[in-house]
Amino acid sequence: MNNNFRPALFWFAVLNAVATFLLIGLGGLVTSHEAGMSVPDWPTSYGYNMFALPIRFWTGGAFFEHTHRLLASAVGFLTTVLALWLWLKDARKWMHWLGVAAFLLVVLQGILGGLRVDLRMPSLGIFHGAIAQIFLVLACSLALFTSRWWINSETEKQVAVPRGLRSHILWVTVLIFIQLLIAATMRHQHAGLAIPDFPLAYGKVWPDTSAAAVASYNERRFEMQGENPITAFQVDLQMIHRLVAYAIFLGVAAAAMLARKKLGGRDPLARLAFVWLGLLTLQIVLGAATIWTNKAADVATLHVMVGALALLTGSLWCLVAARRTRLAATSPSP
């Protein structure tokens, strides 16, 4: 038993992580509803103090955008308190700096979100979406590092995780992050679905992206939400997104099998790898459902949230595996 465990700090870090995950969901709803610019000013909202915007204006797209701002403010506040708490009460020096990093990242993220509105730059939304994913991993890592399990297991005997398995999962996790960047780029084109069918694409294995073909796709499209016309680039990007999704699924399936083979089926990391596989299966179903429902906002947002969970699972797996291996190497021989 280690006396460094602080339950209040841990649960506060968990609260911050859960709020961050919900914030990603709300951010997903903002983009899915094409509502990112519905409140044209920031840090004010319709000229009001953000926290005093009359509730009669919380309608339509402004509901999603405004509540996103409020929850983001709450996460900013929680992260600031957490960083201070870690600095003052956590005995581990590196945790002080991790708290500072979280604080700086949440400030940067808030400013990016604000500038995306004030500068009217859709491309900033891609960075905003990408940093949100990194911040979620960081917020959950802080919760993990302050947990009783993490702190107590410091002195427990550990079994090393083979390097090949660790490398494999690290690379698949990196691929998931790249996939999230592709997805953020797709979503922030504000062009809706570039390809309306799945598993085929415009009825073919690989769609025609000639100028004439793209013109005919646009003729037939109904941009119910004023989406921009699609381009050949966007069609190609969605095809790449699909191919990378298949590669990730195969990579995670291989990771789960490898983990069971190398660590045994009862090992927590092997089980986590199978949870990961389950998430990826769900994610592919949600990706298909996003297309079949013509990008229904709630389905598309669930796709974003499960994508975030997939990145998070891979990242935490890598952290735990690296630590186990380090502790196994430094623990005295029996």
Give the interface with other proteins as residue ranges (CB under 8 A). Answer: 33-41, 46-47, 57, 59-62, 65, 120, 215-216, 218-220, 222, 224-226
Longest dimension (CA), the chain: 73
Q: Which residue lies nearer to other proteins by CB, 35 or 98?
A: 35
Could you tell me if 19 and 25 are in contact, meaning their C-beta atoms sit under 8 angstroms apart?
no
Q: Which amino acid is at 138?
A: L
Q: Which residue lies nearer to other proteins by CB, 57 or 202?
A: 57
CA–CA distance, 99 with 105 (Å, rounded to integer):
10
Q: Among 310, 308, 303, 306, which residue's Cα sits nearest to residue 288? A: 303
Q: Which amino acid is at 124?
A: L
At its nearest, how many Å lie between other proteins and the CB of residue 256? 40
Q: Which residue lies nearer to other proteins by CB, 57 or 198?
A: 57
At its nearest, how many Å lie between other proteins and the CB of residue 37? 4
CA–CA distance, 20 with 133 (Å, rounded to integer):
9
Which residue do the tokens 């069971």 mark? 260
At its nearest, how many Å lie between other proteins and the CB of residue 295? 12
Q: Which residue lies nearer to other proteins by CB, 46 or 274?
A: 46
Distances (CA, A) of 4 to 10, 17, 121, 128, 244: 11, 21, 46, 35, 42
Q: Among 64, 65, 66, 32, which residue's Cα sits nearest to residue 301? A: 32
At its nearest, how many Å lie between other proteins and the CB of residue 63? 9
Q: What angle do CA 200, 203, 208 make, to 5 degrees?
A: 100
Q: Which residue lies nearer to other proteins by CB, 33 or 166?
A: 33
Q: Which residue lies nearer to other proteins by CB, 76 or 114?
A: 114
CA–CA distance, 21 with 12 (Å, rounded to integer):
14
Q: Which residue lies nearer to other proteins by CB, 4 or 44?
A: 44
In a 10 Å sphere around its CB, with 0-12 CB exposed, 13-18 middle and 19+ buried, how is residue 257 labelled? Answer: middle
- How far is C-alpha 25 from the geometric centre of its chain's CA atoms? 9
Q: Which residue lies nearer to other proteins by CB, 45 or 283?
A: 45
At its nearest, how many Å lie between other proteins and the CB of residue 64? 10
At its nearest, how many Å lie between other proteins and the CB of residue 296? 11
At its nearest, how many Å lie between other proteins and the CB of residue 73? 20
Residues 6+ apart with CB under 8 A from 329: 160
At its nearest, how many Å lie between other proteins and the CB of residue 70? 17
